Structure 1
Amino acid sequence: MDGRSHFHAELELLTEKLLRMAALSRQALADALKAFSECDSALAREVIDRDAEINRMECELDDTSLRLLALEQPVALDLRRVVGAMRMTIDLERVGDEALHIAERAIFLSQLPSAPLPAHLDELAFRVSEMLDKALSAFQGGDTDLAQEVCRMDAGIADLNVLVLKDALQQAEDSSRTTPSLERSIHEVVAGRSLERIGDKAANIAEATIFIVKGVSIKHHCRPF
């Protein structure tokens, strides 16, 4: 195998590792949301325990990316693939962190009287999960149209989280300020903020996909290219 063939084999391996990390982060979010909605402390602790593997993969991907940049000095598309992988690694690790934070809230909720998940928080969880799924699909398939769709989806996430906050405030008022209801409201607000941040990371992944495929940076500007 010549030098370039070896480099491209390494690049494919980098992408495979990135997809494995993506799968772990996505599963962490799914399990954290399930734990939160069902007040399942055992599942929440599993999410927390598995975060170490996501962190380990971040370190491994960072090392591989830096080695490829230093030794191979890639250009054009190859360079964008390595740089894009480095960007996405950061975002995926942060998705894992926010999933961990949601799982921590689930443990607190498990100690309170049960109550249904507020409608706007449930919708926020669905939309953010959909964004992350589409962002990862766009990356895997090199689909810039789908990546643009993810960017557009991000526009409504902050507004939806404002509704989550309003719901929590209303719930606190309606409950005559009983301690369990106030605690629940706080945990729901924190979970909503984590979901909003995950939406931001999904948009970043979509932007990185467009950068890799088209060589165009749309950071902070979801626009046609």
Structure 2
Amino acid sequence: MIRKETHFHQQVDELKIMILQMAAYVERAVDSATRALLDRNAELAERVIEGDARINQLENEIDEFSLQLLVRDQPMARDLRFITGCRRAVIDLERAGDEAVNIAEKTIYLSKLTPTPHNPMLEELVSTAKDMLRVAVEALQEENVEKATDVCRMDYKADDLNVRILKKTMDDMVTEVTGVRRAVNTILAARSLERIGDLSTNLGETVIFIVKGVSVKHNCQRF
């Protein structure tokens, strides 16, 4: 019995390693996509798109591995929450990877147009989204509720920046008709950044669920 339980927890540790490996790929994709966006680097953006296949592959591997643990070992309490939480987290990580691809695609399009005027709010949103993802992954790795809650609070800033960028870009569209296509793609890139913040918040909520056994979906700012 002791041997079986030890083997099970080794498998749980392996699941955590797989999740963190996927998170590292996603963080790298987001970092590369945002650098490509700010630098108008189409070549780097192309590499982000190509690398998404590995993230998708890891999602499938983790999904199958975690399902086997649930069916075969029928874990309870904290172990059940952890495995269930990992199954939630992998969905949000894969979606964050998809948003990195969306940003990369917009970057390739924008790189062919007249450069956008310097937009410090976009740079701030890039920084905020990356910070949220980084802290969310740290919270998952450390099972740290305080860091998870910090991510939830940071979501207000990401939402506000997204709205401000939308308003400014729409004003630019009115005064500069030729920049409409550029403006639309900038808005969509900003929306993807805001979504990365939302998905990072979801990861924070998952950490709180794993550690505390409490569901705080859509309400973790008040936890």
Give the TM-score normalised by structure 1.
0.95
Distance (Å, rounded) in 1 between the aligned partners of 2:96 and 2:69: 25
- Checking the alignment, whether the CA contact within 8 Å between 1:118 and 1:167 is kept in structure 2 is no
Letter in 2 for 1:205: L
1:54–1:96 CA contact under 8 A, matched in 2: yes
Determine whether 1:219 maps to 2:217.
yes
- Which residue does the alignment assign to 2:121? 120
Moved more, 163-172 or 7-16: 163-172
| Count of equivalent residues | 222
Look up the match of 1:44. 45
Matched, 1:163 2:160: no
The equivalent of 1:202 in structure 2 is 200
Tell me the amino acid that sits aligned with residue 21 of structure 2.
R
- AA matched with 1:190: L
How far, CA to CA, are the matches of 2:197 and 2:131 in structure 1? 9
Separation in structure 2 between the aligned mates of residue 173 and residue 126 of structure 1, nearest angstrom: 28
| Identity of matched residues, % | 43
Task: Report the equivalent of 2:17.
Answer: 16
Amino acid at match of 1:69: L
Give the conservation status (yes or no) of the 8 Å contact 1:37–1:117.
no
- Answer yes or no: is 1:138 the counterpart of 2:139: yes
Give, in whole Å, the separation in 1 of the partners of 2:55 and 2:94: 6
Provide Cα deviations, 1:56-96, integer angstroms capped at 9, x if missing partner. 00000000010000000000111111001000000000000
Q: SS of the residue aligned with 1:216?
A: coil
SS of equivalent residue, structure 1 residue 220: coil
Paired letter, 2:106: R
SS of the equivalent of 1:2 reads: helix
**2:75 alignment partner in structure 1:** 74
Paired with 2:155 and 2:222, the residues of 1 have a C-alpha distance of 15
Q: In 2, Cα distance between the equivalents of 1:113 and 1:154?
A: 31
Partners of 1:8 and 1:37 in 2: CA distance: 43
Q: Which segments of 5 or more consecutive residues in structure 2 lack a partner in the other structure? A: none
Q: Within 2, Cα distance between the matches of 1:96 and 1:117? A: 26
Measure the CA separation in 2 of the matches of 1:26 and 1:52.
Answer: 15
Deviates more, 1:155-164 or 1:141-150: 155-164
Secondary structure of 1:58's aligned partner? helix
Q: Per-residue displacement from partner, 1:151-176 (whole Å, max 9, x unpaired)?
A: 1111232222111111111222232x
Distance 1:155 1:107 in 2: 29
**Aligned-pair CA distance for 1:117:** 4.2
Amino acid at match of 1:218: V
Partner SS state of residue 113, structure 2 = coil
Q: Name the amino acid aligned to 1:56.
A: Q
CA distance, structure 2, for counterparts of residue 41 and residue 168 of structure 1: 22
For residues 139 and 107 of structure 2, the distance between their equivalents in structure 1, rounded to whole angstroms, comes to: 30
**Deviations 1:165-222, CA, capped at 9 Å, x for gaps:** 11111222232x11xx212111110011111111110000001111111111111112
